[in-house]
A and B are shown apart, each in its own frame.
Chain A
Amino acid sequence: MASILVDNVSIDFPVYYGARSLKKTLLHHAVGGIIGYDSRNRTCVHAIRGLSFRLEKGDRVGVIGPNGAGKTSLLRALAGIYEPSQGRIRIEGKVTSLIDCTSGFDSESSGYDNLFLRSSILGYSKSYIQDKLDDIIKFSDLGDFLYLPMRMYSSGMTARLVFATVTAFDPEVLLLDEWLGVGDANFIEKAQRRAEEFVNRSSIMVIASHSNTIIQRLCNKVIWLENGTLRAMGTADDILPQYASGLSGLPDQGIESGPDPVEVTHHATQS
């Protein structure tokens, strides 16, 4: 039974302003009197401020918000990469995260080899990966491209393979960042079906995305972040229209998914 508790969490990034050097710190301390100043008053970027929410099994959550709202930072905190500067995160269940789908893969190796590479890094044995192989190959639908170097892949093909791989190992908590948006309609449909399977396996999925189409089709809940704080949270049907109307007039909507007829009609009816 997966669950996520986020209680009054803040994430601050220290900014060193090029003072990332031993010399500056040593000299800084050497000139005297301001040692305390350095550690107390250093400049910080507050990526997340006082965020609280709770997610239960079966939740497929879309994280939305403008650039710099703290979506990726939140995902990294949930993945256990950034430990919050304040507050508490408690996650029950095995977490699988994929923040940036291009990095961490070897572009010279084939998709097939990368699939094994990434899965072994995650700690799965060769025989276990072999068991899941058919499922991954079938879902990714790459055909012979699977055996070509990954640098030949389009971003959509990469997304297919990556999504197939990370979802094959029955994660209990799955965290995905915006890269999912590069998939075509066919892929999104397959992803939707797979996302729905999560509910039956009592898992949680969290996706950050700018694309309303992705959120609408893959998620049943939405977390709306703004300036690192929670603007609103609720069902996708409630929140997405508000979010869309808040953004209406801005030209950059759905930019990740390109011109998408479904999305255009959706905005037309909502706003």
Chain B
Amino acid sequence: MLAVYDTAEQSQLKAALDDVYGVATHWRSWVTLGWHDILHKYRGSVLGPFWITLSMAIFIGGLSAVYGGIFGNNNSHYITYLAISLPLWGLMSESLQQGCTCFSGETLIKQIRLPYSVFVARVLWRNTVIFLHNIVIFVVSSLFIESSHLPHFVLLVIGYTLFVINLFWIALLFGIICARFRDFAQIVTNLIGLVFFISPVMWEPKLLEGKPYLIELNVFNHMMEVVRQPILGEIPTTLDYVVSVSLAILGCGLCLTVFMKFRRRLAYWI
């Protein structure tokens, strides 16, 4: 089949949708790029990517010793909680922050015509690989330290899909904004630092029982809960699903509108 590129035939909506669909057609590109990012970072080190696992283990060990005491938690339960919360938080926060630079720092965009979505998928894939390295600790800790319920696999698949859709549109949107306005990345970094402390990552939601609205209003918490609860063998609340689904629908709409309008200009900004 003859490949045809014609600037006259494209409607901007179709071009934007084609670009997003490029995640499926160009899967080799983002798998290779993301995987190479990780290999590149750990090249020459003896442990390689297992440094990710090791540093998370050290982090969880240290935190659980101190914060377990501060919050008066049952220590073995707290370790398991941290072992799922911290990797999941890492997946979310890093994807959003790195989403900001997924276009602006990328020289490849000026070399080869690839769908822009490939660079977003690369960020999500890279962080998913890191997440999988980190989750090893959770598996070990739930097997040997505190046996929690078996995960709800069906809910986990649904929740993870929702989570990834939300991360994808936010990362793409942030990537577009940051390509044009370089300050935006700094704003995001600062806000994420704040969100870390106001969200139940290091502490469990039940500690804030007196002020439930602080948790109910936290969008990021709902995004994480649809993945975290099924892994812990619990069922997320209806509110978690309502927020995650509406966020996905509204966000994809917003993101597509912006992407449709500025996709053509993106290469000129980089």
Contacts and interface: CB of A to CB of B under 8 A. Distances in A.
Contact of B181 (A14, A21, A121): A21
B4 A90 contact: yes
Given A97-B111, A117-B32, A89 B43 contact: no
Nearest to B1: A94
Given A13-B268, A93-B2, A21 B182 contact: yes
B1 to A, nearest CB: 10
A14 B265 CA distance: 9
B98 to A, nearest CB: 18
Interface in A60-105: 76, 79-84, 87-95, 97-100, 103-104
Interface string B78-109: 00000000000000000000000000000111
Nearest to B43: A108
A127 B107 CA distance: 27
B181 A20 contact: yes
A81 B28 CA distance: 20
A90 B6 CA distance: 4
Interface in B211-270: 264-265, 267-268
- A-side binding surface: helix, strand, loop or mixed? loop
A134 B86 CA distance: 47
A83 B40 CA distance: 32
Interface string B138-161: 000000000000000000000000
B7 A81 contact: no
Interface residues of B, number: 33
A25 interface: yes
A232 B65 CA distance: 76
Contacts of A40: none
Nearest to B268: A13
Contacts of B33: 121
Nearest to B40: A106
Most chain A CB within a 10 A radius of its CB, from B7, B107, B112, B267: B112
17 contacts: A76-B267, A79-B112, A81-B109, A81-B111, A88-B6, A89-B6, A90-B5, A90-B6, A91-B6, A103-B111, A104-B111, A108-B43, A120-B29, A121-B28, A121-B32, A121-B33, A172-B3
Question: Which 8 residue pairs of A and B lie closest in terms of their CB atoms, listed nearest first?
Answer: A80-B113, A120-B32, A88-B8, A90-B6, A103-B107, A22-B181, A91-B5, A83-B264
